Homo-oligomer: A and B are copies of this chain.
Amino acid sequence: MINVSIAGGTGYTAGELLRILLRHPEVNIESVISTTSAGTPVAEMHRDLLGETDLLFSDRFINPDVIFLCLGHGLSRAFLQENEIPENCRVIDLGNDFRNEPIFGNREFVFGLCELNREQICRAGNVANPGCFATTIMLALLPLAAKNLLQDEVHVHAITGSTGAGKKPGATTHFSYRDNNISVYKPFTHQHLEEIGHTLLAAGNDQLPQINFVPMRGDFTRGIFASIYTKWDGSLSEADMVRFYKEYYQSSPFVFVSDEPISLKEVVNTNKCLLHIEFHNGYIHITSITDNLVKGASGQAVQNMNLMFGLDETTGLRLKGNAF
């Protein structure tokens, strides 16, 4: 059994991690850390866990094999500074602290996009878990980058559920505002652009394409729907491109290419990413969907853990979808 500790235990990604790990056959959750809620039952905060765990929040870890950092962006570095993590304890960071600057003391962080870095993750001591928008967009572009085919601008609109904005209530997550509403935020400047760029280069593209990325706030809770296109010279036909994508992801158990158009709820509450490809107007158009809390955060983190500890990549992650 893998002894697991979770730091930042009251937030959304920690809750989702708990939902997954409580059903994971190889995991023992030794501690869920919350300095503000220490001593109270975990199920009081994550109320859907009633009847599933008697765990209490604690103010420290004990002797974990791996610690998941579910802290706010920028707080992971501080946590590592303030807490002496045993050298042999692995770290999986769900924040963005180590995605682009992957060094902390002796610890080096592998970028945890399993579909690209599977082998390095298997040997990694530390993993920086990718962002949710980044995951959804990168999985759509990886095969093209691997063939060095991203030679022109990439156009991206992606719409996200409210859980991506975290638990703290605010003006743009107020139900009265958000219900039946749509808006754009951080157009062309979203912070995930940097990790997307690194990844495309690492995948084999010889240059960093300009990515015009317009993130949108959707009036739903879970999921990211990305619509992406870039110029295409037609050197592969649509059918061949679809075949190439399917081959590329052949050994990736959570990424699938759909021959039919896709809709967001086909992946909600699962660790899957679905892709669909069409050619139009001299462009290749790719739609890509994930659940931001699962494949975009906690599910992917468990997938990384599975790889790091030599388990089958899918252990504990064959989740029943929501569908509706």
Contact = CB atoms under 8 A, between A and B. Distances in A.
Given A272-B51, A278-B187, A323 B16 contact: yes
Given A174-B175, A320-B20, A183 B262 contact: yes
A29 B268 CA distance: 24
Most chain B CB inside 10 Å of its own CB: which residue of A221, A225, A267, A274? A221
Contacts of A216: 159, 225, 227
B261 A183 contact: yes
A280 B190 CA distance: 12
A177 B263 contact: yes
A268 B222 CA distance: 14
Most chain B CB inside 10 Å of its own CB: which residue of A46, A178, A220, A322? A322
Given A260-B47, A265-B48, A219 B222 contact: no
A238 interface: no
A266 interface: yes
Interface string A210-230: 101010111111110101010
Given A19-B321, A162-B175, A260-B44, A180 B212 contact: no
A48 B267 contact: yes
A114 to B, nearest CB: 16
Contact of A229 (B176, B185, B212, B267): B212
B157 A179 contact: no
Given A183-B261, A322-B222, A50 B256 contact: yes
Nearest to A180: B220
Interface string A150-165: 0000010101011100
Interface in A162-211: 162-163, 167, 169-171, 173-185, 187-189, 210
A23 B321 CA distance: 11
Contacts of A131: none
Contacts of A58: none
A77 to B, nearest CB: 27
B169 A174 contact: yes
Contact of A188 (B212, B222, B285): B285
Contact of A227 (B179, B214, B272): B214
B176 A281 contact: no
Contacts of A12: 176, 324
Contacts of A169: 169-171, 173-174
A293 interface: yes
Contacts of A266: 47-48, 50
21 contacts: A20-B320, A44-B260, A48-B322, A51-B256, A159-B159, A162-B174, A169-B174, A173-B176, A175-B175, A175-B219, A176-B324, A178-B179, A180-B222, A181-B265, A182-B264, A188-B281, A214-B229, A217-B263, A219-B220, A221-B324, A322-B322
